[in-house]
Structure 1
């Protein structure tokens, strides 16, 4: 198994068995922007979330070519910010990034109609997802 530092974000990529895992370097939270820009990068976000670009384009509700040719377009950036808000909220408690990605994509949540956080955001329910996270951070169950 090899490791390499991702020069685009604050993670070490562990490569082995066909899977990537991300380990946070230091105390920085995930940064999904290209160096020297303030825009979120679909490519970096897809890597961290273990998605291919067509899956990400579908989740964002944009055409793949639009996302590739205009990654900083308003619709792409608006939708990436929604996912980023929830992701940052989940990593606020210094959770392992691999666990955050897994739970964001796979854990069904009763108050979200049995959808995962990722599915809720995809369906336009970002604020419901954030309210759920705020509720459980206060000690209540969802």
Structure 2
């Protein structure tokens, strides 16, 4: 029998983050909590989603809103596999241009229904590219060392 202590011990910080976004008493993600977590004003989130700002409050379970929130969490889950620093991961999603995907950010690509392309990119990059991405997430400079002959 699994106890609450056992579950807490095996739960990733990412899982706690996702649970913190859930709207109390429902199965959907709270757009307000999501906006707060990403340091985005609710009206800016509404503008990004191309919905009226009141829609966030009056219809938070809207399929369009929930799809974006879930897809963004899917990206964070993939990034969590690289590095489990939620603040840096959220910053990467919002701000880091991805050259093979037209130098768009993961946020912009997700807004345009391309979250799966970002996940595919994360799953396909080489070890060297992973190291560069990890360095970016850590905020350090990546230096490539030539192979010895």
Question: TM-score when scaled to structure 2?
Answer: 0.68
Shift of 1:87: 1.8
Of 90-99 and 38-47, more deviation after overlay is shown by 90-99
Once the two structures are superposed, the pairs formed by residues 1-142 of structure 1 within 5 Å of their partners are 27-29=12-14, 30-31=17-18, 32-136=21-125, 139=127, 141=129
Question: TM-score when scaled to structure 1?
Answer: 0.71
Counterpart contact for 2:13–2:84, Cα < 8 Å:
no
Task: Please state which structure has a larger fraction of its residues in strand.
Answer: 1
Structure having the higher Rg: 2
Query: Does the C-alpha gap of structure 1 residues 85 and 61 become closer, same or farther in structure 2, counting only changes over 3 Å?
Result: farther
Task: Please state which structure has a larger fraction of its residues in helix.
Answer: 2
Q: CA RMSD in A?
A: 2.1
**Long gaps (5+) in structure 1:** 1-25
**Long gaps (5+) in structure 2:** 1-10, 131-149
Shift of 1:83: 1.4
Runs of 4+ in 1 over 3 A off after TM superposition: none
Q: How many residues align?
A: 116
Alpha-carbon distance between aligned partners in 2 of 1:91 and 1:40, rounded to the nearest angstrom: 19
